[in-house]
Structure 1
Amino acid sequence: MVEKVLERLKSDVEEAEKALKDASILLKTAVEAGIDVSAEESEHYELQERVKKLKESIEKSIKEIKGKE
C-alpha cells in the first residue's frame, strides 16, 4: 500500500519536473526578449532543487520498502 502511494508520488514529481522544464523554456524566451525575470528565475531554480530532492527521497523510500519485502 505504501509502495503504491510512493509510486504515485513519484509519478506526480515526474510531472512536476516536466512542467519545470517547460517553465525553463518560457523563462529563457523572456530573457531573450529582454524581460527581467531574475526573481522568477531564482524561484524556479529553488523549485527545481526541491523537486529533485523530493524525487530522490521517494526513490530511496521505494528501494527501502522493496528491500524489506
Structure 2
Amino acid sequence: MPQRAISAKPKRSRFRFIGETVAELRKVVWLTRREAMYLTFIVLIVAITSAIILGSVDLGFTRLIDGLFLGR
C-alpha cells in the first residue's frame, strides 16, 4: 500500500503564501479607468463583429444544405 508523503513544511506556510500573494498584488500596475473602458469597448466590438460573421456563415451554410438536400 502506498504511503502518503509527509510534509516537512509547517502550517504557517499558508499564512506566508497569503502574505506573499498580497505583496505581489501590490506590485501590479493596474489599468486606469479610461484604459479599462477603452479595452472593454474593443472587446465588445470584436465579440459583436465575430458573432455577426459567424451567424452569417451559419445561416449561409444552413440555406445551402437545405437547398441541396431538401430541395427548398
TM interval, short-chain normalised: 0.3 to 0.5
Instruction: Point out which structure has higher relative CO (alpha carbons under 8 A, 6+ apart).
Output: 1
Structure ranking higher in helix proportion: 1
TM-score, normalised by the number of residues in structure 1: 0.46
TM-score, normalised by the number of residues in structure 2: 0.44
